[in-house]
Amino acid sequence: MRQLFALVPYMTRRPLLLWGGLACLALTAVFTSLIPKAVGGAVRVVEEAASVRGPGGAIVIEWPRLWSAIGLLLLFSTLAGLFRFGMRKMIIDVSRLAERDFRDGLFRHLLSLSPSFYDRTMTGDVVTRLSSDIDALRTVMGPGLMYLAQTVITVPLILVLMMLIDVPLSLVALAPLVIVPFLVLAFSNELHRRSREVQDQMSTLSNMVQETLAGQRVVKVFNQEAAEEAKFGEINEEYVRRGLRFARLFAGFFPLLHGVFAAGLMITVWVGGVRLMSGAIDFGDLSSVLLWIFELYWPLISLGWVMSLFQRGAASMERIREFQREVSDVADREPAPTPLPARLRGEIEFRQLTFTYPGASTPALTDITLHIPAGRTLGIVGLTGAGKSTLAALVARLYRVPPGTLFIDGVDINALPLAWLRRHIGFVAQETFLFSESIEDNIRFGRPEAPRSEVEIAAELSQLDDQIAGFPRQYETMLGERGINLSGGQRQRAAIARATLLSPPILILDDALSSVDTDTEDRILRGLRGVMRERTTLIIAHRISTVMHADEIIVLDGGRVAERGTHAQLILREGLYAQLHEKQLLEAQLEAVD
């Protein structure tokens, strides 16, 4: 459980709250432990009164002493209650604030990781660690710390008070409790293992739910509701099975603790009765000792619960640390050229670039040598899997670029600060992603401060303005998850508007017009031509009509540049590009006949 020490810096960020809470906890333990002492004093007054008879055999009670004992009892109970409130308030506040800070830090770290991490990590697994795993850490920092500290303070304090009354009786009462640490050690490792199994299965369950709900339209059109429900049932059943295994072990721990407590209580009553009859102690002392035994009961019973909290927290921290140990393979490692220019010109040069995705055995791109002057438009075509999107992703430095193979304005891309570089790139990804916010907020995602007038110009360039005008709330229309209430073409046009709003010197359109018809595509391209003259543009497409007006076109095949030239030059070459062009012309003619 050493990994839980990583929580200490988060808890000590608010020392006044933390130490105030621990001080209240210590005072709660003190005044709670003094309550049996006050009860014993009251019992002693009554016991003495019963042994002394007044005239006519009447019981004579020393009321001042009795009221004094009762007053102390009320005082200790009131103070214990007040300090208990302060203890809970401050320590729980510390745990909640530490939870927030820890979650913020983990989320910040996750945002810093490169796409290669998310290529191999399920979204549900990330969400589970950000939610239920961090919640498990909160219970360690809140209730776990509170009850553990209470046990650590209360048990020695009660032990001292018992010893002051009667050492032999105290030793007899506490003898069975020596077994408790051995019980804790015996159950600890297995509880940790089973807790980790439960958390891992929760991640699997979250992954399945996230994928099924995200793809619910596919599930419905293929009539797979029953199959998905059965799959969910199997995974959920395994989660329940693991949870029950953990619960059975945890439940078995408590009867053992109860047995230890019952044995200690019975021995104490028997030995205490003998010593009472012998006159070694009075009834008030015995009453105090018995009440202290009961006060020891909850801390020791809670020790089992606290142990389960710490084991679950340790398992969760172990899972979170796996993510925290991840280091982005795309980071600012080399010193940036000083001073950086105010704005990129947009010149791009590839020098014998060969790139392999992390974990892959074959290169996605091989020996790419290419020069794109600033302000020029490059069309990139090729069959599926040829490496087109990979080339675009490397320009945006989404993956680690081999040193000395890609230069922007003559500078190795690895030497340019990531944030500065990406501010100068407008990227429309192949898979369009929109957030569950208004259309306006989605368009100005990269420039939150952009005025409405510029948002409208960007929408007009992408041919989305007319359709936005038809929405009930126009630019204030809220989008569903991933923009589900827009068509595929509308989502792509919103993404184009988002990229052009940045006015970037480098614009990348990765198959950004695949979901629009050819007429809309033509209008969008005509609207963008004025914009593209002022910036370096990479247009990736399957349709030849999308790239035919580019200054230069390259054809990728198997990760290599197979052909390059203008549209007219490539048609005359009668290679792969010409074959794609001829095939698409034939398809268009057949569609026209239909």
**Residue 258 maps to a domain:** yes
pLDDT digits (tens, 9 = 90+) for 341-355: 777 888 999 999 999
Measure the N-to-C terminal CA separation of the chain; round to a whole number of Å.
70
Whether 541 has a pLDDT exceeding 60, the answer reads yes
**Model pLDDT for residues 433-464, shown as the tens digit of each residue:** 888 788 888 888 888 888 888 888 888 888 88
Max avg pLDDT among 32-41, 47-56, 177-186, 373-382: 373-382
The secondary structure of 355-412 as a DSSP string is: E--TT-SS-SEEEEEEEE-TT-EEEEEESTTSSHHHHHHHHTT-SPPPTTSEEETTEE
Q: Match 């290169």 to its residue by tokens.
A: 363
Question: For residue 278, is it within any domain?
Answer: yes
Does residue 336 fall inside a structural domain?
A: no
Q: Can you say how many angstroms the Cα of residue 488 is from the centroid of all Cα atoms in its chain?
A: 30
Within a domain: 337: no
127 & 197 share domain: yes
Higher pLDDT, 420 or 517: 420
**Residue 371 pLDDT level (bands cut at 50, 70, 90):** very high
On whether both 316 and 385 belong to a single domain, the answer is: no
Euclidean distance between CA atoms 270 and 80, whole angstroms: 31
Judge whether 341 lies within some domain.
no
Q: For residue 213, what pLDDT band results from cuts at 50, 70 and 90?
A: low
Range of the domain at 23: 2-324
Domain count, the chain: 2
Q: Specify whether 50 is located in the same domain as 185.
A: yes
Region 307-318: mean pLDDT is: 83
119 in any annotated domain: yes
The CA-based diameter of the chain, rounded to the nearest angstrom, is 133
pLDDT for 19:
93
Instruction: Output the pLDDT for position 545.
Output: 81
Instruction: For residue range 573-588, list pLDDT tens digits in order.
Output: 888 888 888 887 776 6
200: CATH: 1.20.1560.10
- The H or E element that residue 283 is part of is helix 283-324
The pair of structure tokens assigned to 571 is 């048609």
Q: If you average pLDDT over every residue of the chain, what do you get?
A: 82
CA–CA gap between residue 328 and residue 252 (Å, rounded): 44
- 474: CATH: 3.40.50.300
Q: Are residues 176 and 77 in the same domain?
A: yes
Residue 332 lies in a domain: no
CA angle 471, 473, 479 (to 5 degrees): 75
Distance in angstroms (rounded) separating the CA atoms of residues 261 and 497: 71
Residue 335 counted as domain residue: no
Q: What is the pLDDT of residue 222?
A: 56
pLDDT for residue 506 is more than 60: yes
Same domain? 20 vs 126: yes
